[in-house]
Amino acid sequence: MVRFIFTRLSLVVPTFIGITLIVFVLVRLIPGDPIETMAGERGIDPARLAQLRHEYGFDQPVFVQYLYYLGRLFQGDLGRSIVTHEAVITEFKALFPATVELAVCSIIFALCLGLPAGIIAAVRRNSIFDHGVMGASLTGYSMPIFWWGLLLILLFSVQLGFTPVSGRISVMFYVESVTGFLLVDTLLVGDYDAFRSALAHLILPTIVLGTRPLAVIARMTRSSMLEVLGEDYIRTARAKGLPAYRVIAVHALRNALIPVVTVIGLQVGVLFTGAILTETIFSWPGVGKWLIEGINRRDYPVLQGGTLIIGAIIMIINLLVDVTYGLINPRIRYQR
Amino acid sequence: MPLLEIENLSVTFPSQTSDLYAVDGVSLTLERGDVLGIVGESGSGKSVAMLAVMGLVAFPGQVTADRLTFEGRDLLRLSDNERRALTGKDVAMIFQEPTTSLNPSFTIGYQLAETLILHEKMDRKAARRRTIELLDQVGIPAPEGRLDAYPHQLSGGMNQRVMIAMAIACNPKLLIADEPTTALDVTIQAQILDLLLSLQRDRGMALILITHNMGVVADTTARVAVMYAGQIMEERSTESLFGSPQHPYTAALLAARPEASDGGRLATIPGVVPGAYDRPRGCLFAPRCAYATPHAAECRPELRPWQNGLIRCHYPLGDTTRDERIAADRRAAPPAAAPEVA
Ligand SMILES: Nc1ncnc2c1ncn2[C@@H]1O[C@H](COP(=O)(O)OP(=O)(O)O)[C@@H](O)[C@H]1O
Ligand SMILES: [Mg+2]
């Protein structure tokens, strides 16, 4: 196990350098640079433009800029936003909890609905429920996030007025940040109205971001469960006289979950991509919205730093998933 | 009162075109402590018949019977809960593939204790102690050390011992062993059979041993039922069945044993077991039988008493009038009528 973790960690450095290179080149392929973009429509005096470019080092060859960037990176310096002059890492830290809160709620939402739906669909295969779940998950999977988000906003926020349209919490509340997760912080100070407000703001973004993982988890659970239910050891479990719920919830599920855990791990990357769109639709003040703004402003350090941190987080989560996989699958544990 | 009574048990698997009769009118009676062998080619319905007794025929299989009782209790009328209280406790079953029959995600100890906790209402500690005893009884060395092992860490033979320990955990009155040695090395096969028989003797439990190996039956069982295409073709004491088989199919099976060969070519039975679509109208064995007549191809024989046993054949081998009757039946309908299939 330890060796396994080290093998995986040794892949981290090359992956990192790959990410920095790709992002560095890609952001510079977007037409316009940060100085021009900031100057906007009014334009800028060419002499001043040249001076600013020189100050930020944009007049040097891209290759040289990249080496400088790498050099600073290895000293742990992700740079500062060109727009706000705030350190990238500070901005990221401030916004990240909002994204995590949304992502965690989405995954919980997807698991709470997806696992039972997949299990029941498998146990009652070819029933109306099964066909319904499969149809719904195919629809959910193919739904463009933008369209789905706007649809829900139109229905629940605009027409029915059930949920707020955007933001994390109503402006009338001020909550001291302790963990950065509003659901937790509001409860810590015992402000239940604020908690309700935060919860109401979370519902639609959670559904929008959780739909695709929900569809994937439901389908994967169903197919994995179907396979496991045909195994000899399920017949053995029934031959012992175990009640049906134990056969399914203990003997079948434990084995069926192994591939599902992998899929959940892979969904983490998908979740970050989805968060970028979801946060933009709902004006959710998280790193996704921050990155989109970074693109609009050609804020190179923000884009480079943000992508790198997110890449690191995805890698760590995937490693954790692999470790979990080994824990629930005894056949893997002993082979390393 | 017999331990197990089966009368006219059928299991069908419905399909769009034609239903598959996996088991077709099987009747058996088993007394306490009996050892019965069930033999037949693979696909003859041995496993499905016994799964029906266990209540384990999976959807969409349909089980029907005129009578299916265990210690006088009608198994088909029991509620799900009552039925489950019997399965795994009074009636237990072990299977052909020991390694895939154990759950790969749980330890041996957990899987064994689970049965004890379920049926004997033991607590974890007591179950653990009993589990060690059971593993010891089935000949697993250093049983304490094996409790935390997973099935993939043990050999097939060891896993089959674990399966046996699990099956006998609650002192069943009937143990059904479905080809318990088929998947094992030849050297292990005899050990497992010896273990099963010694457990049967010590505990006085009834044992149904399913196998397609005639040699195994000869060495182990007192009585044999020969199954073919879902039906019992012949049933009698092992000694008399091997001494003078009465059904042409039994005789063909015995002749096909490697031990029966005189050093020349092995005898074989031409043709294959009929499937769902080519099920004969008359005797199911007629298309492969050397003595088939138009009458046999048309008219399905009943399972009837014959020479201290049961037989399902128009012309039992020991019947002194059979040659005349075969000749007469062949004359009655000219040979143009080849064995017909329904
Ligand atoms: N779940 C099932 N669905 C459809 N057909 C089945 C099923 N299980 C068994 N059968 C069929 O029933 C027949 C008898 O099978 P089985 O009892 O396993 O034979 P044996 O144990 O004698 O080798 C076979 O033709 C098999 O294909
Ligand atoms: Mg079988």
Instruction: Decide if B198 is inside a domain.
Output: yes
Ligand 1 in reach of B48 Cβ (< 6 A) = yes
Nearest CA to ligand 1 atom 23: B42
Q: What is the 3-state secondary structure (H, E, C) of A32-60?
A: CCHHHHHHHHHCCCHHHHHHHHHHHCCCC
CB contact under 8 A, B88 and A241: yes
pLDDT at A151: 92
Name every chain A residue with its beta carbon within 8 A of the beta carbon of B153.
Answer: 334
Checking if the pLDDT of B310 tops 80, the result is yes
Extract the runs of DSSP E, i.e. beta strands, from chain B. Answer: 4-13, 20-30, 35-39, 62-64, 67-70, 73-74, 91-94, 174-178, 206-211, 223-228, 231-237, 304-306, 309-311
More confident residue, A320 or B82: B82
The enclosing domain of B151 has a CATH number of 3.40.50.300
Most B CBs within 10 Å, among A130, A226, A233, to test the B interface: A233
The ligand minimizing its distance to the Cα of B59 is 1
Q: How many Cβ pairs within 8 Å bridge chains A and B?
A: 68
Closest chain A residue by Cα to residue B58: A235
Instruction: Decide if B52 is inside a domain.
Output: yes
Same domain membership, residue B224 and residue B150:
yes
The rounded Å distance from CA B135 to ligand 2 centre is 26
B 153-192 residues with CB below 8 A of A? 153, 163, 166
pLDDT digits over A11-57, tens only?
878 888 888 889 888 888 888 778 777 777 677 788 888 888 888 88
Tell me which residue in A236, A243, A255 faces B84 most closely, judged by beta carbons.
A243
Listed as own residue / partner, the contacts of B128-134 with beta carbons closer than 8 Å and 24 or more positions apart are B130/B169, B131/B165, B131/B169, B134/B165, B134/B166, B134/B168, B134/B169
**Residue A232 contacts B where some CB pair is shorter than 8 Å:** yes
- For chain A, domains (ranges, CATH) are 2-74 (no CATH), 96-145+205-333 (1.10.3720.10)
Report yes or no: B27 and B303 within 8 Å, Cβ to Cβ: yes
CB contact under 8 A, B163 and A238: no
Q: Where does a domain end: B209, B229, B249?
A: B229
Ligand 1 in reach of B245 Cβ (< 6 A) = no
pLDDT digits over A192-235, tens only?
888 999 999 999 999 999 999 999 999 999 999 999 999 999 99
SS3 call for B16 = coil
The rounded Å distance from CA B14 to ligand 2 centre is 19
Distance CA A36, CA A93 (A): 28
**Mean pLDDT over residues B319-328, rounded?**
91
**Residue A47 contacts B where some CB pair is shorter than 8 Å:** no
**Mean pLDDT over residues B222-239, rounded?**
95
**Mean pLDDT over residues B98-127, rounded?**
95
Checking if the pLDDT of B5 tops 80, the result is yes
Instruction: Compute how many other C-beta atoms are within 10 angstroms of the C-beta atom of residue A95.
Output: 21
pLDDT at B338: 52
Segment among A46-50, B11-15, B145-149, B290-294 with least mean pLDDT: A46-50
The rounded Å distance from CA A325 to ligand 2 centre is 34
Instruction: Decide if B267 is inside a domain.
Output: no
Instruction: Decide if B85 is inside a domain.
Output: yes
CB contact under 8 A, A242 and B100: no
Residues facing residue B70 across a β-bridge: B4, B73
Checking if the pLDDT of B336 tops 70, the result is no
Residues facing residue B104 across a β-bridge: none
Same domain membership, residue B10 and residue B126:
yes
Q: pTM for the whole thing?
A: 0.84
Distance CA B45, CA B232 (A): 10
CB contact under 8 A, A240 and B104: no
Same domain membership, residue B253 and residue B136:
no
Checking if the pLDDT of B33 tops 80, the result is yes
Most A CBs within 10 Å, among B56, B84, B94, B105, to test the A interface: B105
Nearest CA to ligand 1 atom 13: B22
Same domain membership, residue B175 and residue B163:
yes
Nearest CA to ligand 1 atom 1: B58
Same domain membership, residue B256 and residue B133:
no
Distance CA B173, CA B204 (A): 8
The rounded Å distance from CA A120 to ligand 1 centre is 26
Report yes or no: B228 and B247 within 8 Å, Cβ to Cβ: no
**Residue B104 contacts A where some CB pair is shorter than 8 Å:** yes
Instruction: Decide if B33 is inside a domain.
Output: yes
Instruction: Decide if B271 is inside a domain.
Output: no
**Mean pLDDT over residues B211-219, rounded?**
86
Q: Work out the pLDDT band at B54, boundaries 50, 70, 90.
A: very high
Helices and strands, counts by H and E, chain B: 13, 13
Instruction: Decide if B41 is inside a domain.
Output: yes
Q: Work out the pLDDT band at B334, boundaries 50, 70, 90.
A: low
Supply B132's token pair. Answer: 């060690």
More confident residue, A332 or B77: B77
Nearest CA to ligand 1 atom 26: B43
> What's the structural domain count of chain B?
2
Same domain membership, residue B239 and residue B182:
no
pLDDT at B122: 93
**Mean pLDDT over residues A75-89, rounded?**
88
Most B CBs within 10 Å, among A240, A327, A332, to test the B interface: A240
ipTM of the complex: 0.90
**Mean pLDDT over residues B272-283, rounded?**
84
**Residue A157 contacts B where some CB pair is shorter than 8 Å:** no
Ligand 1 in reach of B47 Cβ (< 6 A) = yes
Instruction: Decide if B196 is inside a domain.
Output: yes
CB contact under 8 A, A236 and B101: yes
Same domain membership, residue B162 and residue B84:
yes
pLDDT digits over B146-200, tens only?
999 999 999 999 999 999 999 999 999 999 999 999 888 888 999 999 999 999 9
Q: Across chain B, what does the average pLDDT equal?
A: 90
Tell me which residue in A233, A255, A329 faces B101 most closely, judged by beta carbons.
A233
Same domain membership, residue B116 and residue B31:
yes
Give percent of chain A above pLDDT 70: 98
pLDDT digits over A229-261, tens only?
999 999 999 999 999 999 999 999 999 998 898
Same domain membership, residue B136 and residue B206:
yes
Checking if the pLDDT of B1 tops 90, the result is no
**Residue A2 contacts B where some CB pair is shorter than 8 Å:** no
Name every chain B residue with its beta carbon within 8 A of the beta carbon of A252.
Answer: none
Q: DSSP characters for B39-92? A: E--TTSSHHHHHHHHHT-PPTT-EEE-SEEEETTEETTTS-HHHHHHHBTTTEE
SS3 call for B266 = coil
Burial A247-268 (b: 16+ CB within 10 A, else e): bbebbbbbbbbbbbbbbbbbbb
A 249-288 residues with CB below 8 A of B? 251, 254-255
Same domain membership, residue B317 and residue B172:
no
- Domain residue limits at B321: 232-262+281-332
Checking if the pLDDT of B339 tops 60, the result is no
pLDDT at A302: 92
The ligand minimizing its distance to the Cα of B46 is 1
Same domain membership, residue B225 and residue B249:
no
Same domain membership, residue B240 and residue B139:
no
**Residue A236 contacts B where some CB pair is shorter than 8 Å:** yes
CB contact under 8 A, B88 and A329: no
pLDDT at A241: 95
